[in-house]
Every structure is written in structure tokens, then in C-alpha cells.
Structure 1
Amino acid sequence: MKYVIILVVLASFGAIVYGFSLDEEQADLANKYIGSGTLGLFFVAMPLFLLTESRGKKMKDYMLNEENIRKMNEREKQKPGNQ
């Protein structure tokens, strides 16, 4: 999966760079390449990356709820120098 993500990112950046390198006469085609590269990054590569990196982790630990706020406050009080 790691290599698929890298491939999608490189292809997306390649499309964006190619879109910027096209002449002004082909502005419509350039915009399509730039747009498809951007969509590839944000709608394909980023969700794939987030899915692979968050596998096996509890989302409850990362949510800001009352229990986690209390834990953060307790840790802050226990730090040296905070009195």
C-alpha cells in the first residue's frame, strides 16, 4: 500500500508540473492536468495515507472529550515548574 500511495503522489505532482509547463495556447488542457493532480493528491493519496497510518489506533484517544481534557489538565499540573 505504501508504494501505491507514493505512486499516486508522484503521478499527481507530475500532472501538476506538466500542467504548469504547458503553453498558454493550451490553457484548458493545462488546467485539466493541474486540477486532476490536485484531486489525486487530496481525494486519493491523502485518504489512503490516513487509512494506512491510522490502522489499529483508537480514535477515542484522539478526540477532545471531557475525559481527555481532564487527563491533559492533570499532566499539565504534574509538569515541573507549573505551580
Structure 2
Amino acid sequence: MKYSILIAFLVSFGSIVCGFLLDVAYAQKLIGFGVLGLVVFVFPLFSYYRWKDKDIKDYMLTKENLDKMRENQKN
């Protein structure tokens, strides 16, 4: 999964760079497809990969978590 995300990132980023550097008629399309690849494929896959084993309740501001934060600040 990690390598497929890296490959998709490199392809998308390479498309953006080629769109800026090459003087061809479809340069704007290269930039657009590169940005689309980042937004539609790379970012969601990366987010899923990084959050798949985490519990969302650990990151929410609930009463229990606020109490834990206050306890940690006192120490």
C-alpha cells in the first residue's frame, strides 16, 4: 500500500512538473490531471493508510479526554 501511494504521488507530481516545464499544447491538461490524481487518489489513499488502525475517539474532545489533558498539565 505504501509503495502504491508513493508511485501515484510521483506520477501525479511528475505530470504537474512536466506540464510546467514542457512547451506542448496539452501542458494545462497535464497539470490538471496531476492535481486531479493528487486529490482523488493520493490524498484519500494516504489518509486511509495512516488512519486505518487508529481510534477516532482518542482524538475527539470528550469530557474524559479533557480531564486527561488537565491531569497531564498538572503533572
Tell me how many residue pairs correspond in the alignment. 75
- Corresponding residue number in structure 2 for 1:56: 53
Residue 67 of structure 1 deviates from its aligned partner by 2.1
Gaps of 5+ in 1: 79-83
Superposed, 1:1-83 pairs within 5 Å as 1-23=1-23, 26=25, 29-78=26-75
1:70, 1:30 → 2: CA distance?
Answer: 54
Q: Which runs of 5 or more residues in structure 2 are unaligned?
A: none
Q: Normalised by the size of structure 2, how large is the TM-score?
A: 0.85
Percent sequence identity over aligned pairs: 49
Whole-Å Cα distance in 1 between the matches of residues 40 and 69 of structure 2? 33
Distance in 1 (CA, whole Å) between partners of 2:63 and 2:32 is 41
Please identify the structure whose Cα radius of gyration is greater. Answer: 1
Give the 3-state SS of the residue equivalent to 1:75 in structure 2. Answer: helix
1:26-61 deviations in Å (ceiling 9; x for gaps) = 2xx222111211121122111111111212211110
